[in-house]
Structure 1
Amino acid sequence: MKMHKKSVYRFCLMVGAWLACTSMFAGTQGEGSVFIPADDAHIVYMGRISHRIPKAVTFTYPGVSIFVNFEGTSLRMKAKPGSGDFMVEIDDQLPYRISFTKDDSVLTLAEGLPEGVHRARIMYILEGFELKPVFEGFYVDEGCSLAEAPVLPERRIEFIGNSITCGYGVESNDRNDPFTYEMENHFYTYAAKTARALNAQHLVVARSGIGIYRNFGAPTSGSKDCLPAMYEQVMFTDPTELWDHSLYTPDVVCVNLGTNDTGDGKYDFGLLTDGYRKFVSHLRDIYPKAKIVLLSGSMLSGKPLDDVKRAMDTVVSERKQAGDSEVYRFDMSPQTGALGYGANWHPSMRQQQKMANELAAYLKELMNW
């Protein structure tokens, strides 16, 4: 008997609902489900990813995101045990955090959903250079599949930064807390919040402790592994695989560095300025048409903040004199403690929101968005 296409689809969902109730358990592969590998064309990614592992996706930078539309009533995710933490959004429901510990390879993202097509947005929220996360694919209900590939926003922002951009300590309310992965969450940073407010994609190149010419605690002469030196790599830990910039051309690049260069008061102003100068020149070579915004905020104060601003102002002035009028400056508010602190004196969640409000308003006007 030949069934109508819509009838087949409804039957698929009914079968999927029954299977979800009988065989979908977190952390087990289960029977009666369909595995779809990470290289499936219906899965869309945002951020720097590597395909070196067959049918899987690896990454190290926070903010890497996975977008998928799926049929059925449940969705499970497979990843390398110990990959770390993700924020998950299913349809229009509130986001929630999941963690792939050393004992987890499959986690249930949703079950018991209404019949129909659903969408999932999954963001990696940690710095993965130690954890080396690997996403392997999804399980959907038997008889179901992934739906049409999601279409991402046309607007594109690139954020280059340090621990502030990573989300270091943002889930803590105690400035005396040490760093732990449980307290890091890029989803709540000014970068991710700004992108959501402007309905834009965002790509992140950031690591805690890194600088424009000198990493935190390094000699004043500079660091060989400062951010500009790492910038071309797909994976922070792997210099053998270089990023193809044609895969993501931003409309605007936001650079928030300088805190680690100057925060301990030990730095060379000339080298600091030259670090900005050379990196902005490199970014302009890569992105001839993008606007570049040099940011300050929010952990610096006093002379270090003044010198970072002066170095960035110098470079912006030089670029304008050379005919490049698309390099800009913007200062987000320094933290005062009125909005609390995250771990180790880092921006609190409220401070990150304030930064996002300021930057989103600035970019909206700058970009005419």
Structure 2
Amino acid sequence: MKKVIILAFVAMMCQQLMAIKTVPVQGSIIRPTDKHIQYTGRISFTNPDRPAFNYPGIQISAAFEGTSLRMLAKPKSGYFMAQIDKAEPFKVAFRGERDSVVTLATALADGVHTVKLMYVIEGYEFYPEFWGFVLDKGKKLVDAPALPSRKIEFIGNSITCGYGNEGLKKEEHFDYATENHYYSYASITARNLDAQHWVVARSGIGAYRNYGEAKSGSPRSCMPVQYEYTGYAYDLKLRQEASFLREKWDFTRYQPDVVCINLGTNDMSTNNYDLRLLKQGYQKLLQLVRQHNPQAKIVFLSGSMLYNKELQQVKQLLDGVVAEARKAGDAEVYRFDMSPISDDAWYGNDWHPNVYQDEKMAGELTAYLRSLMNWF
């Protein structure tokens, strides 16, 4: 029996290495199951050697010995931001059919170093997987610095994802190369507060109605449906494409101190919305979030892509949802409004906030959460 298990393991590792065709893999291969690797975010470990995910903001961190570091991932996984020690973060890409090995560091001083990785795009087309690290021969991972004790969850749409925030013009359309969650208001706020942040966000999603869809709503793919799952799928039928998309999320894996919900922009899109149904969507989502996070403070946000009548309607609606929740006995539900985009200088692609607007929103939200949570 032991021999069968060993042979199966060898076969699995050979299969994994055969998939890495871009360069010969030489050195110490560190599997994703190594106990020293720290993971944050909604990741499926159904196959522990191929951790899978598709929400932005997934983070992988470790401390390693030696002078170099390479990362292994499924080809066409998309974009990550990487930071070695305290150096400036940089973007790395797994975009080609054979891109499965990327060098993150070389010619470092021989010693112990840290790496932080963040998945910075929406991977609903790529189904990304992390396959491990490659170190200098004979080197290994060691204990990494502890993760922050403060915990935030962000629930949102394209604004939270960082859609187009590296773009230069509002007239230019979506490109994965210009989406960078690392520079989103959510990610910046978390760094400002020295907090973990986990993300459940997808462009186009709403509390009851996704962008441009029927006035009656998107009952199979709006946020109250998607919130229950480890990964995002356009439609429940598409969960057949990848096993992790069918996986219900285990909420015991992460209990945030505060949950920030930023939805409504897509619900109000194309002048085809029903405020009564939107309020029901907010209430249903609040009920789910509270059910799964009984101790968390919950903050409903507005901003930054709603204006005029629609902005006022959403604000009034959210004020009502919070007031009714408090009257019903939930005293830990709150409201905060971030600034709408006010000038062309603050736009990225497709009229979304650029990195400067993200920094502005993060500054506002940081100050609010610092006071609310007493995080000084």
Question: Which residue of structure 1 lines up, in the alignment, with residue 374 of structure 2?
Answer: 368
- Shift in alpha-carbon separation, 1:150–1:55, aligned structure 2, 3 A: farther
Question: Which residue of structure 2 lines up, in the alignment, with residue 17 of structure 1?
Answer: none
Match of 2:148 among 128, 145, 153: 153
> Given residue 78 of structure 1, which amino acid in structure 2 is its aligned partner?
L
Match of 2:264 among 255, 258, 273: 258
Q: Aligned to 2:42, what secondary structure does the other structure show?
A: coil
Question: Which residue of structure 2 lines up, in the alignment, with residue 232 of structure 1?
Answer: 228
Give the superposition deviation at 1:27. Answer: 4.6
Q: Aligned to 2:217, what secondary structure does the other structure show?
A: coil
Q: Give the conservation status (yes or no) of the 8 Å contact 1:265–1:304.
A: no
Q: Please give the per-residue CA displacement for 1:190-216, whole angstroms capped at 9, x wherever unaligned.
A: 000000000000000000000000001
Name the % identity.
53
The 2-side partners of 1:56 and 1:282 are apart by 29
The 2-side partners of 1:135 and 1:205 are apart by 19
How high is the TM-score relative to the length of structure 1? 0.91
Question: Which residue of structure 1 lines up, in the alignment, with residue 350 of structure 2?
Answer: 344
Q: Please give the per-residue CA displacement for 1:341-369, whole angstroms capped at 9, x wherever unaligned.
A: 10000001100000000000000000000
Is structure 2 residue 88 aligned with structure 1 residue 94? yes
Question: Which residue of structure 2 lines up, in the alignment, with residue 308 of structure 1?
Answer: 314
Question: Which residue of structure 1 lines up, in the alignment, with residue 33 of structure 2?
Answer: 39
Is structure 2 residue 123 aligned with structure 1 residue 120? no
The 2-side partners of 1:65 and 1:243 are apart by 17
Q: Give the conservation status (yes or no) of the 8 Å contact 2:322–2:333.
A: yes
> Given residue 341 of structure 2, which amino acid in structure 1 is its aligned partner?
Q
> Given residue 345 of structure 1, which amino acid in structure 2 is its aligned partner?
W
Is structure 2 residue 99 aligned with structure 1 residue 104? yes
Match of 2:283 among 264, 277, 281: 277
Is structure 2 residue 73 aligned with structure 1 residue 67? no
Is structure 2 residue 305 aligned with structure 1 residue 299? yes
Question: More deviation in 100-109 or 119-128?
Answer: 100-109
Q: Give the conservation status (yes or no) of the 8 Å contact 1:27–1:107.
A: no
Question: Which residue of structure 2 lines up, in the alignment, with residue 16 of structure 1?
Answer: none
Give the superposition deviation at 1:169. Answer: 0.4
The 1-side partners of 2:48 and 2:200 are apart by 24
> Given residue 253 of structure 2, which amino acid in structure 1 is its aligned partner?
L
User: Is there any run of 5+ residues in structure 2 with no aligned partner, and where?
Assistant: 1-20, 234-238, 240-244
Q: Aligned to 1:235, what secondary structure does the other structure show?
A: coil
Match of 2:194 among 194, 199, 202: 199
> Given residue 302 of structure 1, which amino acid in structure 2 is its aligned partner?
N
The 1-side partners of 2:144 and 2:366 are apart by 28
User: Is there any run of 5+ residues in structure 1 with no aligned partner, and where?
Assistant: 1-25
Match of 2:341 among 335, 340, 346: 335
Q: Please give the per-residue CA displacement for 1:63-109, whole angstroms capped at 9, x wherever unaligned.
A: 00001000000000001110000000000100000001223110100
The 2-side partners of 1:93 and 1:207 are apart by 30
Give the superposition deviation at 1:124. Answer: 0.2
Give the superposition deviation at 1:150. Answer: 3.4
The 2-side partners of 1:189 and 1:30 are apart by 34
Question: Which residue of structure 1 lines up, in the alignment, with residue 13 of structure 2?
Answer: none
The 2-side partners of 1:165 and 1:354 are apart by 14
The 2-side partners of 1:28 and 1:250 are apart by 41
The 2-side partners of 1:327 and 1:340 are apart by 30
Q: Aligned to 2:346, what secondary structure does the other structure show?
A: coil
Q: Aligned to 2:64, what secondary structure does the other structure show?
A: strand
Is structure 2 residue 146 aligned with structure 1 residue 144? no
The 2-side partners of 1:65 and 1:288 are apart by 25
Question: Which residue of structure 2 lines up, in the alignment, with residue 163 of structure 1?
Answer: 158
Q: Give the conservation status (yes or no) of the 8 Å contact 2:212–2:269.
A: no
Give the superposition deviation at 1:157. Answer: 0.1
Give the superposition deviation at 1:235. Answer: 1.4
Question: Which residue of structure 2 lines up, in the alignment, with residue 181 of structure 1?
Answer: 176
How high is the TM-score relative to the length of structure 2? 0.89
Give the superposition deviation at 1:54. Answer: 4.0
Number of equivalences: 343
Question: More deviation in 147-156 or 90-99?
Answer: 147-156
Q: Give the conservation status (yes or no) of the 8 Å contact 2:223–2:285.
A: no
Q: Give the conservation status (yes or no) of the 8 Å contact 1:44–1:150.
A: no
| RMSD after superposition | 1.2
The 2-side partners of 1:30 and 1:273 are apart by 54
Q: Aligned to 2:316, what secondary structure does the other structure show?
A: helix
Match of 2:73 among 55, 76, 79: 79
Q: Give the conservation status (yes or no) of the 8 Å contact 1:41–1:149.
A: no
> Given residue 109 of structure 2, which amino acid in structure 1 is its aligned partner?
P
